[in-house]
Copies of this chain bind each other. A is one copy, B any other.
Amino acid sequence: MTQKVTVVEVGPRDGLQAEAQIISPAQRTQLITLLKTAGLACIEVGSFVSPKAVPQMAETHVVLESLKSLGSLDPYMVLVPNDQGFQEAARAHVKQIAFFTAVSQTFVQRNIQCSIEESLLRLKGMMPQAKAAGMRVRGYISCIMGCPYEGDVPPAAVVALTEQLLMLGCDAVSLGDTIGVGTPHRMRNLLKQVKQVAPLSALALHCHDTYGQALPNIYEALSCGLRIFDSSIGGLGGCPYAPGASGNVSTEDLLYMLDGLGMETGVDRSLLLQATVYVRDTLKLPLRSRSACADLKI
């Protein structure tokens, strides 16, 4: 089995949007550039959402213009919640878009103000134009292990939604344990079922570290054959009012494990620390990455 693993860096979007501090488009561009330099081949750089709803992601088009002036936009992904956002992404010549849905009606409603079915119709509507523009399309499925509003989620619902997203034309599906409640046996059970309807190369795992379980779950997913994992520099994405609360699994801790397992990621951990330091100095946050704290001796 291949030892190549793709780490999808989601800190500049999923991470930053959950932090109270707002950093400028220039600072976001600098962070993304450091991440790119460290070897991350796919980076989620922003979203086209209402700046009133998510001020952290305002002026994503400015970030993209800066990135374009520095090189190709190929490595960069942008989240679009609806057709309006999609049109902005198209105008910015984005090459990868991500679209959000979830296995919980309540969660989808609160996030993009529509039902699961309506979210799929939105996606279906934008797909022809996305394909014509040569965009890669990623579908996010949130709440795969449980929903903060609806509680437990049946694995069959995740399987069915994965299948629908792929049938609609998604190139990849990112399975998100958004509230970090999963443990390895449940993860294995779910992935075994999802693998029946999706090729491994189209599946990513997106683990939040709320209960400290992200790495054992990712380790289990590796042994199930998955090779794409989302993570966030410095563990960005926790609540700034809660020093210990945790967001996405940190890219640093994930890479420490992958390096130790002999997986090839193309990422240089010492260069990555420059991005970590930038996050710390810019956002003035306590880092939520254990290995970064160890490496930086803080």
- Residue numbers of A with Cβ under 8 A of B are 180, 182-186, 209-213, 215-216, 218-220, 242-246, 250, 253, 256-257, 259-262, 286-294, 297-298
Given contacts A183-B260, A211-B291, A262-B185, contact A298 B242 (CB under 8 A): yes
Copies of this chain, count: 2
Please report the C-alpha to C-alpha distance between residue A218 and residue B243 in the assembled complex, in whole angstroms. 26
Contacts of A298 in B (CB 8 A): 242-245
Point out which of A213, A246, A259, A290 has the most chain B C-beta atoms below 10 A from its C-beta: A290
Q: Complex: how many Å from CA A294 to CA B212?
A: 10
Q: Closest Cβ of chain B: how far from A183's Cβ, in Å?
A: 3
Q: Do B244 and A287 touch (CB < 8 A)?
A: yes
B212 touches A261 (CB 8 A): no
- The reply to whether A294 and B245 contact each other, CB–CB distance below 8 Å, is yes
Q: A185-B261, A216-B216 are in contact. List 5 more A-B contacts (CB 8 A).
A: A183-B260, A210-B294, A212-B215, A213-B256, A216-B218
* Chain A to chain B contacts (Cβ below 8 Å), 12 pairs: A183-B259, A183-B260, A184-B219, A186-B260, A210-B291, A211-B256, A211-B294, A212-B289, A216-B216, A243-B298, A244-B287, A245-B293
B212 touches A253 (CB 8 A): yes
- Evaluate whether A244 and B212 lie within 8 angstroms (CB atoms) in the complex, with A182-B260, A183-B261, A257-B183 already known: no
Residues of B within 8 A of A243 (CB): 243, 286, 298
